[in-house]
Amino acid sequence: MHFPPGRLPARRRFFLSVLAAWVAGAAGCGGGGGNDAGGSAQAKPVATWAAVLSDLQEDVRFLNIPAPARRAFQNETLRQTAQVSLGGDQFRIQFANPYGKAPLPLARVRAALSTGPGSVDVATDVAVTFQGQASVSIPPGGQVWSDAVSIRVPDGGAVAVSAYVRDAADAFSAHRYANVVHHVGPGDLSSAAAMPLGAENQITASYWMSAIDVFRTTPARVVVAFGDSLTDGNGSTLGANRRYPDLLSARLRPGMAGAPVSVVNAGLGGNRWLHDRFGPRGVDRFRRDVLAMTGVTDVIIQMGINDIGFQQAWTPDEKAVPADLMASLSSAVAAAQAAGVRVYLGTLTPFKGHVYFSEQGEQMRQAVNQWIRANTQVAGVFDFDAAVRDPVEPERILAAYRDEDHLHLNDLGYARLAEIIALDRFR
């Protein structure tokens, strides 16, 4: 069925465009630079980094979250740094405008290896093109892949992508809690060796850049971590790449036997299974952010704590009961398995001490975890709850592992999650 572009909601247009790109990729057509790099029939794209975009215009005032500091960019360069999981000789970059009110005009985009905050190795600096063109305009609800970018990136390496925005571009399509430090400066600094480092030049959200695929000539497994802020890494050291998917990727990297493994983060802070806000609800975005990931072979799912807690403290009309969460998990498991993707479930971690904790919510968490542990339909269960709970008071995260809000983890806590994942599951 075809919809007039002016009538279809932006979110649905974005979902359809992602699905179309996925189908095209499966057929060998690819997007932007195509599925093959440099004309080689053997180099295929593999997901190596992702940032889930949501709408910064959403009403989140119930959490006293202020309006976004950025509503637009104009005559500025935004340099964003991404630490990839697997490296290679070439990669491609996806930009998207799912929630923009106007076309997203990128006048110039360049990429280079990052050498530190805001700085790049100018010897590796190259232009990023889109179907051979230096600039691109992405319509509301649209997305585009770049052509193949020829830079040798090591496994676990950091790529800096600099986008010069000459004409005004709204800043609504973003990853709100990116847990990184990006840099912005006046004018065209896309080829500059370093960006201004003042506080006014630093931003902690990511804009428009939604994925990076690396081209590989040998098979690779792609593990997608799907979840909320606990997958997104809230509470870990800002800009240090200490989220549990980062740490799992680092554990899998040395001495890999068999196919290399890419671990891609599809976490979205505040996300829930059943209700929109902080991105589309999980039952909708699972297909977009997991099954449409390039080359996905495995998924780790850990989500549901916000469904439990939000209704207790902030959104009483947006209900969820354990049966709803189990049904949502079952639906995601079935969809993944139908696509040939192996599924692993993670139990929900403790949250006593957090503002939305309640005894009723704790009972819900225990019911969901009991169902997860007993699940025999999936490839495995990672008991994140048991890994980080306080043995004396298991409704709480152990003090050594928890962030000050009693919901999120600190660096040690995220390291603990990565540590309990058996690496032979992915080798």
What per-residue confidence (pLDDT) applies to 11?
Answer: 46
User: What distance lies between CA 313 and its chain's CA centroid?
Assistant: 26
> Can you read off the two tokens belonging to residue 287?
């297909």
Q: How confident is the model at residue 427 (pLDDT cuts 50, 70, 90)?
A: confident
φ, ψ for residue 119, nearest 5 deg:
-115, 155
What per-residue confidence (pLDDT) applies to 33?
Answer: 37
What per-residue confidence (pLDDT) applies to 41?
Answer: 55
- Could you give the C-alpha distances from 325 to 229, 272, 329, 335, in angstroms and in order? 17, 10, 6, 15
> Can you read off the two tokens belonging to residue 277?
């806000």
**Per-residue model confidence as pLDDT tens digits over 356-374:** 999 999 999 999 999 999 9
Whether 34 has a pLDDT exceeding 90, the answer reads no
> Which region among 34-38, 310-314, 398-402, 413-417 has the lowest average model confidence (pLDDT)?
34-38
Share of the chain above pLDDT 70, in %: 90
> Which region among 7-11, 63-67, 83-87, 346-350 has the lowest average model confidence (pLDDT)?
7-11
Task: Please check whether residue 173 is in contact with residue 78, taking contact to mean a CB–CB distance below 8 angstroms.
Answer: no
Indicate the pTM of the whole model.
Answer: 0.90
Interval 367-383 mean pLDDT: 97
**Per-residue model confidence as pLDDT tens digits over 16-30:** 444 444 433 433 333
* Distance linking the first and last C-alpha atoms of the chain: 41
Whether 377 has a pLDDT exceeding 70, the answer reads yes
> Domain 219-426 sits in which CATH superfamily?
SGNH hydrolase (3.40.50.1110)
